[in-house]
Structure 1
Amino acid sequence: MASVVLRCALWVMSASVLGASAQGNYQKFIALGSGSSVGTYYQVANTLCHAINDERLVHGVRCINRSTGGSIYNIKALQAGQLDMAITRRDLLDAAMDAQSSRPDLEVGVGLRYLKSLYSMPLVAFSRADSGINGLNDILGKRVNIGAKGSGKRSAASAIFDALGWSSSDFSELTELSSAAMVEAFCDGTIDVFFEALANPNAMYATIIDDCNGRLIEMSPAIIDRVLAANSAFKLTPIAAGLYNHHAGESKAIGFEAVLATTDALTDGTVDIIMQLVSQVESP
């Protein structure tokens, strides 16, 4: 019954929008920026695009999932007009919309728009079970992947390093691998530690744990308190017990909120149709 009501609502809405298309109130193709093809952004973008495309004969809008470099890249691509919508972090979007923001990696973007909260993103670090790494302080001197430039995990890892007073010289190597390359490097022993921020549970973490002997690195309350005090972008986002093998207890974690964003260039009529559809999609 709900699907029938939704379809009827879309017919009414689409008739209005399509009737106004000559005045520029309708956009046929939507490029949705996501992230690495193995990450949660990409999976969620696929789900959102499927929800839109399943009804494309009704409303005439087609969504295309664009794999990208991640949160910061997506904001810059929105600002440049290369994307119509994107998934990004709420704190980064807020910073890009704040004329008083002093983030060096973002420019204030006129016309950026928040659309919808999607899910929480706990930031985690992984090491191998036999690495001797028992806490975050133990990663000093190790080979650590902090993520590709423009990715959310890269800026998050940098924020943690700043809060703890760490620099690149405290590690034997800092790599800038994409999520896909990072998994391969971890599993073949090329790196010791990596940072990631995905919704839970997810297949990547399960693979890391089950196939590559990976384990979550616990963040101590003292480290969490220091990071939260130094950077208000982080929020407490614990990881529930039992989501993965060898993860019997709840893990204390900090993280972010993933959101859907666009710009004023996307017409109100198109936004109305998209929001009517994605509001029916369950978050991961």
Structure 2
Amino acid sequence: MKGKTLAWALTAGLASFSMAHTAQAADDKFVTIGTGGQTGVYYVAGQSICRFVNRDSKRHGIKCNAPASGGGVANVNGIRSGEFNFGIMQSDHQYKAMKGLPPFDKEGPMEDERAVFSLQSEVFTILARRDAHIANFDDLKGKRVNVGNPGSGQRDTLEEIMAVKGWKKSDFALAAELKPAEQASALGDNNIDAMTYFVGHPNGAIQEATTTVDAVLIPVTGPAIDKLLAEKTYFTKADIPGGVYTGNENPTPSIGGKAVLTTSAKVSPDVVYEVVKSVFDNFDRFKKLHPAFHDLTEKDMISVGLTAPLHEGAVRYYKERGWM
């Protein structure tokens, strides 16, 4: 009898422990942020956001992870499918997804898309081997160019430029589809003549490339670019600062936009609130995690580059701080 009583007590105790453990697990909220390639600023941004969210997870019960992903277009699709709760993307991709414009026209308008805050400025960047004799965008014709992996911001932006210029991929001797992490070595090994990137500066992949091979940044200017800027207001004129990369001492003009953290209206306001709070309550520390964050300001982050409505959880925090 005592044995049965002991066994029952042990079973009940284990059941209670299991139920308590399950209840605790149910209380935990797991959020995933879609980022980009590991050499890019998106990846650093996602990792940095999660760093501050996870520091306070005992209080709010949220655990955050930010895996590498295919980039902005892939992050839009990841939010839409539920693979990601948040995603970092170009401001133009946020706009296109909201309106259901290419490359999101097949899925239709993403009416539940919501902005959280903007991040660093980004510039469409072309880096070419000096011995490829590429001085401007038109010189890319007949060259071996990495157009970027499908789903990346660089690929989508390049295709917009090609469309306004009336170009096709066949205008290149090679249209490589390398991921960001593969570009620098391909340029250094003379497998491509030029690489493209839509990214904040300074960038690790471009630093790597310019220290391993004599390479130059290529200006993206001209009448076709002016036409693109007039038609696509989510792009602006932008410069890559001079002196950031070896052998490139002068500013390089191009087009750009903002990186934006985006989510869905389906994500809990409490979760979005805590993610926003984690960043802005640690803002000075956050800005030190990458040189591209150095010039960020709270005022710009909650207004500039946001082409979708703000999520109500973000609005709650901004109103508490007296910013809205």
Q: For the superposition of Structure 1 and Structure 2, which TM-score range results when normalised by the shorter chain?
A: 0.7 to 0.9
Q: Percent identity?
A: 29
* Higher helix proportion: 2
Query: In the alignment, is residue 255 of structure 1 matched against residue 262 of structure 2?
Result: no
Unaligned runs of 5+ in 2: 1-22, 288-292, 295-324
d(CA) in 1 for partners of 2:39, 2:246: 20
**Larger Cα-atom Rg:** 2
The DSSP-based 3-state class of the residue aligned with 1:201 is: coil
The DSSP-based 3-state class of the residue aligned with 1:237 is: strand
Q: CA deviation at 1:125?
A: 0.7
Aligned to 1:93: 94
The letter for the 2-side match of 1:256 is G
The DSSP-based 3-state class of the residue aligned with 1:241 is: coil
CA offsets 1:95-116 (integer angstroms, 9 cap, x no match): 2122xx4324343223111000
Query: In the alignment, is residue 53 of structure 1 matched against residue 43 of structure 2?
Result: no
Aligned to 1:162: 163
Q: CA deviation at 1:27?
A: 5.8
d(CA) in 2 for partners of 1:258, 1:187: 28
Any conservation in 1 of the 2:40–2:204 contact (CA below 8 Å)?
no
Aligned to 1:128: 129
The letter for the 1-side match of 2:101 is S
d(CA) in 2 for partners of 1:220, 1:264: 38
Q: What TM-score, normalized to structure 1? A: 0.85
Aligned to 1:117: 118
Deviating more after overlay: 262-271 vs 102-111: 102-111
Aligned to 1:189: 190
Q: State how 1:140-219 maps to structure 2 within 5 Å.
A: 140-219=141-220
Q: CA deviation at 1:42?
A: 0.7
* Residues 85 and 162 (structure 1), Cα distance of their counterparts in 2 relative to 1, 3 Å cut: same
Aligned to 2:307: none
Could you list the runs of 4 or more consecutive aligned residues of structure 1 that deviate by over 6 angstroms after TM superposition? none
CA offsets 1:121-155 (integer angstroms, 9 cap, x no match): 10011111222111111110011111111111110
d(CA) in 2 for partners of 1:127, 1:198: 16
Give the paired residue count.
259
d(CA) in 2 for partners of 1:71, 1:257: 12
Q: State how 1:63-102 maps to structure 2 within 5 Å.
A: 63-98=64-99, 101-102=100-101
Q: What TM-score, normalized to structure 2? A: 0.75
* Residues 58 and 105 (structure 1), Cα distance of their counterparts in 2 relative to 1, 3 Å cut: same
d(CA) in 1 for partners of 2:130, 2:46: 33
Any conservation in 2 of the 1:27–1:267 contact (CA below 8 Å)?
no
Aligned to 1:12: none
Deviating more after overlay: 259-268 vs 220-229: 220-229
